[in-house]
Amino acid sequence: MNFRRTLLTACATAAATMAFLPHAALAQSPMVLKAADVHPAGYPNVVAVENMGKKLDAATKGRLKIQMFPGGVLGGEKEMIEQTQVGAINILRTSLGPIGTVVPEVNVFNMPFVFRNQDHMRAVIDGAIGDELLAKITASPAKLVAIGWMDGGSRSLYTKKPVRTPADLKGQKIRMMGNPLFVDTMNAMGGNGISMGYGEVFTALQTGVVDGAENNAPSFFTSNHFSTGAKYYTQTNHLIIPELLVVSKVTWDKLSKDDQALMKKLGREAQMEQRALWDKSVDENTAKLKAAGVEFINVDNKAFYDATVAVRAKYGANYTDLMKRIEAVK
Ligand code: GTR
């Protein structure tokens, strides 16, 4: 009797354990979120997202993790945006530039000289307008949930021949990011804008497919573009484009409300952490570029500002109120 009872109890326990195990195993198996960036390991944006992953891991006791794929190994920015829209990439740090082709409203931030300087841009993204734009991206049909901004510094021209005025750009083919707005911007500034993925620029500069490109100092140095002969860095500061941290909507919908709130909180923390890393990186990479023989050319950028009036008028036509609000931010 005792033996039977023991046996029955043992069987019942085993059955219960077996019924329970798959769930227990499932609940325990971590969800590893694939994150991607065109920049290499060690770049401020990559480091900030990796640190976000460590915090996520700790806060969820290993249930949610982030695995970073840096250096554009999962494709160019355009391809990575598409992969994020379908959930093949779960978290993406991208420039707002190519996002303008899927959420046209963000092009207000992508316009030349729309921000007075970097501090102005930061005040805008940290305030109500920044929050509104994140919400607009999330509410758009793009299937991207925007959880934070990042700093993309200020973009200036680098060319093989020195440029001091818009007239110096005549006949020069300049690589721009994939968005017609940027090709229009370069054409208005006096050159010939050529749209191309970031990963193709090095070879294009080397083979003469393009004569120059434009970017911030950390990108200019870490991409090695300076080593192709494009050693004149004209400080036009024509684009001050913030960058974005997005989660695939496909992934987002699989997260609990609490996990979504946690991701949003950590996204904002990553925004602030990246900013501190960014300022250091700009200084360091500026020094490295100078040490490598890059000539920084200071220009009065009013001529470039005036040349691009029509671009702001064209792309800002539907957003005049928003442009006025941006201008009013101190
Ligand atoms: C960088 C930006 C990248 C990418 C790149 C480019 O400044 O961080 O996301 O957009 O520029 O020029 O393609």
pLDDT tens by residue, 210-232: 999 999 999 999 999 999 999 99
Atom 1, ligand 1: residue with shortest CA distance:
219
> How close are the terminal C-alpha atoms of the chain, in Å?
85
Residues with CB under 6 A from ligand 1: 38, 77, 94-95, 97, 152, 177, 198, 215-216, 219, 243
Residue-level pLDDT at 8? 43
182 pLDDT exceeds 80?
A: yes
9 pLDDT exceeds 70?
A: no
Query: What is the separation of C-alpha 155 from the centre of its chain, rounded to a whole number of angstroms?
Result: 14
Distance 30 CA to ligand 1 centre (A): 31
Query: Looking at the DSSP assignment, which residues form a beta bridge with residue 244?
Result: 94, 149
Distance 95 CA to ligand 1 centre (A): 6
Q: Report which DSSP code applies to 175.
A: E
CA distance 239 to 152: 9
17 pLDDT exceeds 60?
A: no
Question: Percent of the chain having pLDDT more than 70?
Answer: 92
Q: Residues 39-48: pLDDT tens digits?
A: 999 999 999 9
Atom of ligand 1 nearest to the CA of 214: 12
Query: Looking at the DSSP assignment, which residues form a beta bridge with residue 245?
Result: 93, 148
Q: With 0-12 CB in 10 A as exposed, 13-18 as middle and 19+ as buried, what is 214?
A: buried
Distance 165 CA to ligand 1 centre (A): 24
Distance 274 CA to ligand 1 centre (A): 15
Atom 6, ligand 1: residue with shortest CA distance:
198
CA distance 109 to 115: 8
Residue-level pLDDT at 29? 85
Q: Which of 24-28, 100-104, 131-135, 276-280 comes out lowest in average pLDDT?
A: 24-28
Q: Residues 281-293: pLDDT tens digits?
A: 999 999 999 999 9
Nearest in space to 56 (alpha carbons), one of 273, 288, 328, 270: 270
Q: Can you read off the two tokens belonging to residue 260?
A: 């979504």
Distance 198 CA to ligand 1 centre (A): 7
Distance 38 CA to ligand 1 centre (A): 7
What is this structure's pTM?
0.91
Q: Residues 50-89: pLDDT tens digits?
A: 999 999 999 999 999 999 999 999 999 999 999 999 999 9
CA distance 97 to 35: 19
For residue 222, give Cα distances in angstroms to 150, 206, 213, 271. 18, 16, 14, 21
Atom 4, ligand 1: residue with shortest CA distance:
95
Mean pLDDT of 188-214: 98
pLDDT bracket for residue 208 (50, 70, 90): very high
Return phi, psi of residue 187, to 5°: -60, -40
pLDDT bracket for residue 16 (50, 70, 90): very low
Neighbour count for residue 5 (Cβ, 10 Å): 9
The rounded mean pLDDT for the chain is 93
Is 133:252 a contact under the CB 8 Å cutoff?
Answer: no
Q: Can you read off the two tokens belonging to residue 172?
A: 């020069």
Is 162:168 a contact under the CB 8 Å cutoff?
Answer: yes
pLDDT bracket for residue 2 (50, 70, 90): very low
Q: Which of 198, 201, 238, 240 to mutate to test the pocket of ligand 1 (most atoms within 8 A of CB)?
A: 198
Residue-level pLDDT at 139? 98
